[in-house]
Chain A
Amino acid sequence: MSPFTLGLLYGGVTLLVMFSGMPISFSLGLVATVFMFFFMPTSALDTVTQNVYEEMSAITLLSIPLFILKGAAIGRSPAGRDLYSALHVWMHRIPGGLGIANVFACALFAAMAGSSPATCSAIGSAGIPEMRKRGYPGGFAAGLIAAGGTLGILLPPSITMILYAVAAEQSLGRLFLAGIGPALLLVAFFAAYAAWRYSREVSRAEEGSALLATESYTLGQKFAALPRVLPFVLLLTGVMVALYGGFATPSETAGLGAILALILIALIYNTWRPRQLEPIMANTIRESSMLMLIIGMSLFYSYVMSYLHISQSVAGWIVAQHLSRWVLLAAILVMVVVLGFFLPPVSIILMTAPIILPPLKAAGFDLVWFGVIMTIVMEMGLIHPPVGLNIFVIKNIAPDIPLGDVVWGIVPFVILMTLAVAVLCFLPEIALWLPDKLIT
């Protein structure tokens, strides 16, 4: 059988097994093992476990549970609420300031916690009721928070980017930095949309609408809001300085961040008793074990794929089509979007990287830049149906907003994200300027 036919079979069987509802990690392991049995020397079966262990036992990958721990510690504390109220107090005078404060709060929190759903639930549980109380439409409030939450996988330290760096053999430091410019671009787009939407709602508002109500805070109130927030902003900057000042490797940064986060919630929110820490730890362990098994099995899956020359021949086939650069990019991104309907970003990256990266490299695309683009496209998968993890989170915190309103509220943000991808295609410097400047 030619590697290409074998590849179709491999892909087809994988889809079939996955759609049966078998957990992603077991499906990938099972399919890879079965193909090993039929198409590789029998002795290969003895190396399955060693293979999985060797693929997994890199400290860069195993820092993921520690990043999750840091995110869970901050995400389950009232830090999100405090961050949100501080920004609100400081920004309420700007027209549309409430929406903008929500976008900023999402971005800052995402950078601290590194998780989209955690960001949605932390900022959204304070922000959505507040926005609705002030007369913002429910769908808009939900869309804003769902989209703002996705910044979590674009801003460092992002788990998605760690995996991309490993799969594409790119520098993690560069990739992290390359996410910052595009994240700021998205923040600007979201904030501008929030301000525009606010002015439109105000022009339609009737006398006595909550939208027109003004409020004021004294300077004292403004400064009183700061002490609880500053430590977390310091944590964020401290961790970044440790990483880029050359004091710590990315994995050490994860450990350091987790310890600092646990110390901060103990000091500020008095959260240190085992009973209080239990949900944080249980959540971290659950997510870590689930993700690490997917990662280990995905890597094993792509090892078999490359041993059978499937990745090489499919990649070669794509190159041989002589598509123009942008058609190639568009085709690959569409594929990522479609996969994003069903699979979490982790599996998309690890399963497709060996196939899509060589053609992209041959077409002259910068792989760090593509990592950022791919991350934004996968973010869209987090907020659109049918999987749309963030939508579920929003439904949990604001169950009375009808699902239809939530989905319609999200559409403008998906358009803005598509626009951001287009801008990044014309101006790759937005992503690459910072890493080029800081890392030589």
Chain B
Amino acid sequence: MKLVGYINRAIVVLSAIALVLASCVLTYSVLLRYFTPEPTDWQDEFSVFLLIGVSFLAAAWVHSQRGHIGIEALASILPPKVNRVRLFFVDMLSALFCAFFAWKSWTLLAEAWTEGYVSATAWAPPLWIPYSLMSVGMTLLTLQIVLQAFRPLPPPAPPTEVPL
């Protein structure tokens, strides 16, 4: 449990760095295009990899705060005892899906690694990079969901954090 906490903490720091780095790369891309005739070929894709990494790796930490939003209508009407059972079932189903997704990510990663898949762009970076981020992220998420299903709930995150 503690280990998961440390991993999540490290991922948040890395994600923060990745976000700022992606912003820098895209800004660099604008400047490069403005001041030099050089083509901007790797910046977009490099940022895509960073941001895919943030999205998947941070997913477990987000779940640890119950930050993946759902429809809470039922939770507010059910009696607390029934609600706990409902949440347990929902968590198990979520874990099942995430485990399946993680498994398929790992097989995809293995395939990309052995077959040497690269992205279909001029820069052509190997695809095992984003696939590995996805695999690790979904595995951690599955682990987090299972661990959390078996211990008492922290209070849900306030709904003010959603951006739309």
Q: Residues of A with Cβ closer than 8 Å to B?
A: 17-27, 29-30, 33, 45-46, 48-50, 52-53, 56-59, 62-63, 65-66, 68-69, 71, 115-118, 121, 153, 159-160, 242, 247-248, 251-252, 254-256, 258-259, 262, 277, 281-294, 296, 342-346, 382, 386, 389, 392-393, 396
Contact = CB atoms under 8 A, between A and B. Distances in A.
24 contacts: A21-B72, A24-B68, A30-B97, A33-B100, A49-B134, A53-B108, A62-B51, A66-B23, A69-B19, A117-B163, A248-B30, A251-B44, A255-B22, A255-B23, A285-B16, A286-B61, A287-B162, A288-B55, A289-B59, A293-B56, A294-B69, A343-B71, A344-B164, A392-B160
Q: Is the interface of A mostly helix, strand, loop or mixed?
A: helix
Contacts of B62: 285-286, 289-290
Interface of B: 12, 15-16, 19-20, 22-27, 29-30, 33-34, 44-45, 47-48, 51-52, 54-56, 58-59, 61-63, 65, 67-75, 86-87, 89-90, 93-94, 96-98, 100-101, 104-105, 107-108, 130-131, 134, 157-164
Given A285-B61, A289-B55, A289-B59, A18 B97 contact: no
Contacts of A285: 12, 15-16, 19, 54, 58, 61-62
B130 A18 contact: no
A12 B17 CA distance: 42
Contacts of A27: 70
Contacts of B68: 23-26, 290, 293
A22 B19 contact: no
A57 B45 CA distance: 8
B61 A66 contact: no
B163 A59 contact: no
B47 A251 contact: yes
B58 A62 contact: no
B73 A20 contact: no
A303 to B, nearest CB: 15
Q: Is the interface of B mostly helix, strand, loop or mixed?
A: helix
B158 A293 contact: no
A159 B105 contact: no
Given A24-B69, A289-B62, A389 B164 contact: yes
B12 A29 contact: no
Among B58, B59, B67, residue most surrounded by chain A Cβ atoms (within 10 Å): B58
A342 B71 contact: yes
Given A256-B30, A284-B19, A285-B19, A62 B90 contact: no
A24 B101 contact: no
Contacts of A288: 19, 51, 54-55, 58
Among B26, B48, B68, B72, residue most surrounded by chain A Cβ atoms (within 10 Å): B26
A296 B141 CA distance: 16
Contact of B86 (A20, A48, A117): A20
Contact of A18 (B34, B55, B71): B71
Given A23-B68, A254-B23, 6 more contacts: A25-B68, A26-B97, A52-B101, A53-B130, A62-B55, A66-B19
